[in-house]
């Protein structure tokens, strides 16, 4: 077979404010690859099938922090983005994988059509058995990093007790929608917020007891009426976090999964009610699934795969078709314009 184009999604500039497709992120089709003959040097040649596009990407588009301050897990200027995704092995010189294997990579799958991975780059790879024949895209969402985030964060930090009240932000999103369902399975009253009628309906379908549109309803009023809250699942930060703080029960647990309200304005709106952490003896835990996920990955899949297959746990996707759509998908995620978990379908699994 003749060499083929190997499209790539490149970080062209660090983001200031919202990322812009064509400026912050560009699609580059100048590379070619000879799939039959490219040397593997002990590695594997893979074809990308599905890519996850997530809110936390925004942070990876910032300049790296000064040495010793914070994590340096950002994207590299001029290089392809990378993230969670599903790929199929085309050729392999590594004993861990063989041609035809489908696998999931949580954080480091390059945003390009074809990649050669080798050595330690394959350490995080997980072969997908997929006994229930669930669509591959689901492994970037409810069965992937967002689903595992929900599961691991909830199991590690919620200390949920039946009859308690949980408030879940972005309750129709890929993380929040599973949190809503986990909380309902464990017998909690669930208050869930989102930004459109379509999403409210989805949250009702998931079993949420109280749903509201944060754009048209005052979060503080809803929580004052339906709270106090024992668990706050934070995907939002900002004023919503402030509203949760003054409507928290004593000994409430705040699970800090993300703060998208601040990602594109430098978190410029300060938190006013942080003193409630002391006054109400709140436990606030920030976590990244990258550090917590390994502990829960197997338990998570055993729990959730059959429930996805039989429909007991629901999920939704907003699909973008084609690798060149990654920049647009990222921008829509950051602006809250996607209706559900954003996934970019890159290719079908047929070699």
> What DSSP string describes 167-187?
EETTTTSTTHHHHHHHHHHTT
Instruction: Give CA–CA dist 273/290, Å, rounded.
Output: 29
> What DSSP string describes 80-115?
B-EEEEEEEEEEE-STT--TT-EEEEEEEEESBSEE
Q: Which of 275, 298, 312, 348 binds a copy of itself (CB under 8 A)?
A: 275
Instruction: Give CA–CA dist 79/76, Å, rounded.
Output: 5
Asked if residue 237 binds a copy of itself (CB under 8 A), the reply is yes
CB 263 within 8 A of CB 286: no
Give the sign of the dihedral formed by CA 172, CA 169, CA 345, CA 48.
negative
Q: Which of 1, 2, 30, 278 binds a copy of itself (CB under 8 A)?
A: 278
Closest CB 84 distance from a copy of itself, rounded Å:
18
Asked if residue 291 binds a copy of itself (CB under 8 A), the reply is yes
Closer residue to a copy of itself, CB minimum distance, 10 or 257: 257
Asked if residue 224 binds a copy of itself (CB under 8 A), the reply is yes
Q: Which of 20, 256, 318, 324 binds a copy of itself (CB under 8 A)?
A: 256
Asked if residue 71 binds a copy of itself (CB under 8 A), the reply is yes
Closer residue to a copy of itself, CB minimum distance, 213 or 265: 265
- Is 67 buried (19+), middle (13-18) or exposed (0-12) by CB count in 10 A? exposed
Closer residue to a copy of itself, CB minimum distance, 105 or 234: 234
Asked if residue 258 binds a copy of itself (CB under 8 A), the reply is yes
Closer residue to a copy of itself, CB minimum distance, 68 or 311: 68
> What DSSP string describes 28-87?
E---EE-TTT---TTSEEEEEEEEEE-TTHHHHTSPPPPTTSS---PPPTTSB-EEEEEE
Stretch that binds a copy of itself, among 90-98, 101-109, 176-184, 244-252 (CB under 8 A): 244-252
Stretch that binds a copy of itself, among 24-32, 79-87, 284-292, 310-318 (CB under 8 A): 284-292
Residues forming the site for a copy of itself (CB under 8 A): 59, 68-71, 224, 227-228, 237, 241, 246-247, 250-251, 256-259, 262, 267-288, 291
């Amino acid at each position: 077979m003749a060499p083929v184009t190997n499209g790539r999604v490149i970080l062209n500039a660090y983001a200031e404010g919202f990322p812009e497709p064509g400026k912050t992120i560009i699609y580059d089709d100048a590379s070619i690859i000879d799939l039959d003959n490219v040397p593997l040097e002990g590695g594997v040649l893979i074809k990308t099938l599905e890519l996850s596009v997530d809110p936390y990407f925004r942070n990876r588009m910032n300049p790296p922090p000064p040495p010793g301050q914070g994590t340096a897990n950002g994207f590299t200027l001029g290089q392809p983005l990378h993230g969670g995704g599903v790929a199929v092995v085309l050729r392999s010189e590594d004993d861990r994988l063989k041609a035809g294997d489908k696998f999931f990579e949580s954080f480091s799958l390059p945003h390009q059509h074809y990649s050669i991975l080798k050595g330690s780059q394959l350490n995080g790879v997980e072969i997908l058995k997929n006994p229930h024949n669930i669509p591959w895209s689901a492994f970037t969402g409810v069965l992937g990093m967002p689903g595992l985030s929900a599961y691991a964060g909830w199991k590690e930090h919620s200390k949920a007790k039946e009859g308690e009240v949980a408030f879940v932000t972005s309750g129709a999103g890929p993380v929040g929608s599973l949190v809503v369902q986990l909380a309902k399975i464990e017998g909690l009253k669930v208050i869930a917020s989102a930004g459109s009628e379509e999403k409210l309906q989805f949250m009702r379908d998931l079993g949420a007891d109280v749903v509201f549109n944060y754009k048209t309803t005052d979060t503080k009023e809803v929580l004052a009426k339906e709270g106090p809250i024992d668990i706050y699942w934070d995907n939002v930060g900002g004023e919503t976090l402030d509203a949760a703080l003054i409507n928290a029960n004593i000994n409430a647990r705040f699970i800090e999964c993300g703060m998208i309200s601040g990602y594109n304005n430098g978190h410029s709106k300060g938190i006013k009610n942080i003193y409630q952490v002391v006054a109400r003896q709140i436990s606030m835990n920030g976590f990244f699934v990258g550090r917590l996920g390994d502990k829960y990955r197997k338990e998570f899949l055993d729990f959730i795969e059959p429930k996805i297959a039989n429909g007991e746990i629901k999920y939704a996707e907003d699909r973008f078709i084609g690798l060149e759509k990654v920049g647009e998908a990222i921008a829509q995620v950051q602006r809250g314009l996607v209706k559900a978990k954003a996934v970019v379908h890159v290719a079908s699994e047929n070699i």
